[in-house]
Chain A
Amino acid sequence: MASSVVKTTTPAQPTTGPTQSSFLATLGRWSFILPLLVLNLIVVIIPSIFGLMLAFTDWSGYGPINFVGLQNFAALFQDRIFFKSLGNNLVWTAMFLTVPIFVGLLGAYMLSGIKRGQMFFRVAYFLPYVFASVVNSQIWRQILHPRVGIGPILAEYGIPILDFPIFGTRETALFGVAFVDGWHFWGFLVILYLSAMAAVDSELYEVARLDGATRFQQFRFVTLPSIRPTLVFTILMITIWSSLVFDYVFMMTGGGPANSSEVMGTYLYQNAFQRFDVGYAASIGVMMSLWVMLAVAGFVYLRRRGWEI
């Protein structure tokens, strides 16, 4: 595995016209895709297979590898911090499937109704999405700081709701981090929903209006069914991404205080790179993969049932 790294850029052999044998022609065609396949194999697929296997060992990252069967998983199911992380990932998923989708639909629907200024709003909403997580977390760490943020100002005006360390309090840390991630994410949904809405046949709205439908009814009975494929796709993406959360939690709370905002991604990282319990970390990685597989399986199932997604 190691030495093959260097050989990833096998030069593509050009084939020269129909005179060559069909075997060489096929080989020539495949050589165009070979670098991509080989590189993906080295960076993603082979290490993933090793990741699965390491989950059944007690390896520390150095020295001999001992297989220990299902011991890691047995330990995982008695690990309160793991269950806390898993629960936090579920809470995270629930939050992201509701608030950003609602705001995304609202923004896109309002945006689809106007022409002038549409470009400005699209750019404004999308801007936080192209910012690095390390910048966005800095922005909100300052704004929500109990001493140099908006908390003390609000308190001065008699609204003492934000003048405490949001990221340093057990009950609020996870929600604070999810808010920051959500702030950078919802504009992405607006754009996705907007392009889906732009494809809706405007005659459908005409008919609905003639039938006396209110704007909300038009949204409910024309827009929503028409953009269902996009909606279901974003639900799938959010479900997958919510299991992979890492950046914002790692940067803003490090999973704390007292593991209250721990997610599987940060807990895995801690086990692998701070406790050097590679086997245990790998078993958390397997659980994360199971989550993704379940989400994809649900998606495929819905598709089989005849959903146009």
Chain B
Amino acid sequence: MLKQRDQSKLPNYLVLSLLALFALIPIVILFFNAVKTTVEIGRNPIGIPQEIRLDNFIQAWDQGGYAVTIRNSLIMMSSTIVASLTIAGLAAYALARLKLKGSALIAFYFLVGTSVPPQLFMVPLFVAWRQVGLINTHLGLIIIYTGLYSPFATYLLRSYMIGLPEEFIEAARIDGASNLQVFRKIILPLSWPGFLTAGLVIGLNVWNEFLFAVTFLPDPALKPVATSLFEFQGRFSRDWGLTSAGSVIMVIPIIVLFLLLQRRFIEGLTQGGLKG
């Protein structure tokens, strides 16, 4: 199967394949179980399904309230992405291009700010949000997510903007463009890959986020997919086919997006140092 010159690489491929099986088999089992009945899972817990039944998906979609929870997640994802990218785009532009005095201090501030344990500020934040009526609102969580993720986006976008050629900006300035106009007309069109990467990572984080969602959104009607699925798993803990189908519904959009845009995902997630 392998060509002559690849023979010495055989040990590499052997180890790599074993690792790939370790990563992928559990995911394959999840997909298998999603199309099995509970009876079949009892008989055949990890093997290939005898027949493919899609009933679990229909039932999970209904019982799990996915029509609502996906909408909730999408509202929070899109708002957080737009808000974070706006705030981070402006800040990154200032840090990369406007020669701010004290930008080293700001970098240090965000190093400290991003390594504070969420558990330290979560409780006071909860109390404050309760005071102003932001508990059980999407807006409350969107503000938190934007606050948590825009430093990461700033960092990522700044490294993009530093690399942009100075000539374009100079030319625009000579034409009398203001800082904001330079940002809109020159910086934004040139650094869109950075925005795409940052947006993808933020979207993924909001989709998957659990701790803040479970704390700040107890109302079932407002829950995003993650916390709603957790509750669904608890309600149908013996119905493995059903809960597996619920999980598959949650990961399918992620798998599709990830396979299409894997370079950007991997780049964004490994550069930002965000906990996933």
Contact = CB atoms under 8 A, between A and B. Distances in A.
Interface of A: 1-3, 5, 8-9, 12, 14-17, 26, 28-30, 32-33, 35-37, 39-40, 42-48, 50-52, 54, 61, 103, 106-107, 110-111, 113-114, 116-117, 120-135, 138-140, 142-143, 145, 147-150, 152-153, 183, 187-188, 191-192, 195, 237, 240-241, 243-244, 246-247, 250-251, 264-265, 268-269, 272-273, 278, 281-282, 284-286, 288-289, 292, 296
B147 A43 contact: yes
Interface in B105-135: 106, 110, 113, 115-128, 131-132, 134
A275 to B, nearest CB: 12
B33 A40 contact: no
A26 B47 CA distance: 66
A29 B94 contact: yes
B162 interface: no
Interface string B151-187: 1001000000000000000000100101111010000
B251 A132 contact: yes
A16 B178 contact: yes
A132 to B, nearest CB: 4
A17 B24 CA distance: 57
A246 B119 contact: yes
Given A110-B15, A244-B119, A33 B95 contact: yes
Interface in B205-236: 207-208, 210-211, 215, 226-227, 229-230, 233
B23 interface: yes
8 contacts: A5-B134, A32-B98, A50-B121, A110-B16, A124-B20, A135-B30, A143-B46, A285-B120
B120 A39 contact: no
Contacts of A187: 23
Contacts of A128: 23, 26-27
A116 B6 contact: yes
A129 B269 contact: yes
Interface of B: 6, 9, 11-13, 15-16, 19-20, 22-24, 26-27, 29-30, 33, 41-42, 45-46, 86-88, 90-91, 93-95, 98-101, 106, 110, 113, 115-128, 131-132, 134, 143-144, 146-148, 150-151, 154, 173, 176, 178-181, 183, 204, 207-208, 210-211, 215, 226-227, 229-230, 233, 240, 243-244, 247, 250-251, 254-255, 258-259, 262, 265-266, 269-270, 273, 275-276
B42 A39 contact: no
A45 B124 CA distance: 11
A257 B24 CA distance: 30
Given A36-B91, A51-B124, A126 B30 contact: no
Contacts of A237: 273
A201 to B, nearest CB: 21
Contacts of A111: 12, 16
B110 A40 contact: yes
Nearest to A185: B276
A43 B258 contact: no
Contact of A132 (B88, B179, B181, B210): B210
Contact of A124 (B24, B45, B146): B24
A191 B262 CA distance: 12
B178 A153 contact: no
A133 B112 CA distance: 26
Contacts of B258: 123, 126-127, 130
Given A14-B178, A29-B179, A35-B91, A150 B46 contact: yes
